[in-house]
Amino acid sequence: MRLLSVTLKNFRCYAEEINVGFGDLTTFVGRNDIGKSSVLEALEIFFNNSIVSIEQGDKNVFSGDEKVEITCEFTDFPHSLNLDAGAETTLAEEFLLTNTGTLKLRKIYDCGNKKPSVEIFVLANHPSAPGFQNLIELKEKDLQAKVKELQLDVPLKGNPGMRKAIWAAAGDLQLVETAIPVSKAKEDAKRIWDQIESYLPMFALFQSDRSSKDSDDEVQSPMKAAVAAALAEVQADIAKIQQRVQEKAEEIAKNTHEELKTIDPMLASELNPEFTPPTAAKWQGLFSVALNTDAGIPLNKRGSGVRRLVLVSFFKAEAKRLLKSSNRRSIIYAIEEPETAQHPNNQRILIESFKSLSSETGCQVILTTHSPGFASDLPNDSIRFIFRDATTGKPFIQAGANVFGAVAETLGVTPDSRVKVLLCVEGPTDVAAFKALSKALHAEDNSLPNLENDERVAFIVLGGGNLKHWVDENYLRALNKKEVHIYDRDVASYAEAATKVNARQDGSWAVQTTKHEIESYLHSDAIHEAFNIKIEVTDHPVDGKATPKRFAEAYSAIQGFDAIMGDTKAKLRLAERAFPLMTAARIHERDPQGEVRVWLTKIRDMIQ
């Protein structure tokens, strides 16, 4: 299942209902104490209620309402559900989806109690016609009576089939959004919830203020997630163990009863064990994993920056493991302020790791930061800017790259005195491409800048479709730095943006690539070396397919994916693995006119 959005109401600073959407990578940006962590902790409460659990103090102090609502909306839910006796059904057939075909779950916490209680509802476009609502809460005998009353020709076995026939007989079901109780319900409503719950994404929250002892959750959480994932894969074996334990307990109880009757038959006519199998949480609690590094040094004795890099390595390893698993559950990793305690070079490593991780199937990554510099290297459409109305103090969440002007103004941007040129590109994959290409040409001619480590050049990611805003508003002018803009040829409107930059009287320079896009400068040998995939790299699309599209088709076929990955994920993989394998010789073969060298020469001259 994939998290599409969360809606909060009466939770901490979010008194009024507020909704925020999620992508594969989502980044919350804002000042301290603005509500970034509250969103992540609300999700932790919804999925686990463990690292952060709901408390009386979580209700908004000004609302006067005791009820806190956390509503999550999902896509990619299970296609079918199996109820008792092999009765198969779907969420759509049970009218348990929204009018847009998503699954929406709401948890309402009563914070009027010292220990808040919770009720769970499915918010769905559900029948409201009199006599045809709430059928999933009816017992089999009640459904049978309904079938007979309507004189329907349908088997009186299998609740889903009877419900389907009854609804079909209604004509106008009068579908309206309905909150259907499932946690405290009976019959199929409860069975359906039990199955939905087993498919919910695993949610791993890594907070910024943990002390990071071996026993603390910042260290243990990733390993607990690994244990949970492992246990999810051996459920059949666990069921066998529980069955064997139950059988043995019953055998012992029977033998004990037989011996009891020989002592005094009047003491007990029967002696039956009441067997309660351990919950998933209890199974997970049986395992604890300590982490040691070089020479047996415990992880918690290493620097905080090293600890976080170890966690990132865990994220990537777990994502790759999940990718190979045929029956995997999805995972959401939520990381607060990942730039904390990190050297700038390590921050760049973290950013690339998060982008790579979020591109893997079944993984979503949520970050928080109050650093505009860190955020600027992340995909623009991932940004969720949290701010408060100056008059009312009400929090708002604004999405999209067009908020960067406000982000810079609110958080402040302190220019680095070492930076002489701002290199403005469309997206994060362009950054990786330019770093790799410049590194290769620098190795041949060290007069050219190596953008991978040249501190005189800073990358600015403008965000594709939002590039016009950056250029028109000239958000970077306050930094008083020369700008180089290099745009792909694939969007005609970029020519106008380049013209506007070149018209400035501040020494800035802009150009469009001669080829279709930056991936068109790759060499097929680099792609083959990285992925063992042989595709043709052309300057411009052939049959409507550019290099990322052809790569995506070949890669998806080899991996056995049901669907072809999108261009964004294809570009991320090429940026991560193919561009670093470009050599000067490969660049010259793909770029005989020396276009890339011209770009780097221009940047070198502007620096000097």
3-class state of residue 230 by DSSP? helix
Q: What is the DSSP letter of 292?
A: B
Q: Rounded to a whole number, what is the distance in angstroms from the first to the last CA of the chain?
A: 52
Mean pLDDT of the chain: 84
DSSP-derived secondary structure for 5-39: EEEEESBTTB-S-EEEE--SEEEEE--TTSSHHHH
Q: Are 607 and 448 in contact, with CB atoms under 8 Å apart?
A: no
User: What span, in angstroms and rounded, lies between the C-alpha atoms of 242 and 250?
Assistant: 12
Burial of 272 (0-12, 13-18, 19+ CB in 10 A): exposed
Strands (E), 462-520: 482-487, 509-512
| pLDDT tens-digit map of 70-97 | 999 999 988 888 876 567 889 999 999 9
pLDDT tops 60 at residue 402: no
User: What percent of the chain stands above pLDDT 70?
Assistant: 82
Burial of 550 (0-12, 13-18, 19+ CB in 10 A): buried
pLDDT tops 70 at residue 538: yes
pLDDT tops 70 at residue 203: yes
Query: What crossing angle do the helices spanning 595-607 and 428-444 adopt, rounded to 10°?
Result: 90
pLDDT tops 70 at residue 329: no
Buried/exposed code over 488-508 (b: 16+ C-beta within 10 A; e: otherwise): bbbeeebeebbeebeeeeeeb
| pLDDT tens-digit map of 407-456 | 666 666 555 567 889 898 988 889 999 999 999 999 999 999 999 988 88
pLDDT tops 70 at residue 108: yes
Pairing of strands 363-369, 331-336: parallel
Q: Amino acid identity of 149?
A: E
Query: Cα dihedral angle (101, 107, 108, 111), rounded to 10 degrees?
Result: -160
| pLDDT tens-digit map of 358-397 | 887 788 999 998 776 677 677 778 889 898 888 888 899 9
| pLDDT tens-digit map of 544-562 | 999 999 999 999 888 776 6
- From the list 473, 439, 471, 432, the residue with the least C-alpha distance to 453 is 439
What is the structure's pLDDT at 320? 52
What is the structure's pLDDT at 317? 64
What is the structure's pLDDT at 250? 81
Q: In 150-216, where does DSSP find H-type helix?
A: 159-168, 187-199
Q: In 264-359, where does DSSP find H-type helix?
A: 280-285, 304-324, 344-358
pTM of the model: 0.66
Highest mean pLDDT: which range of 101-110, 211-220, 414-423 = 101-110
* 97-111, 486-500, 553-567: least confidently modelled range: 553-567
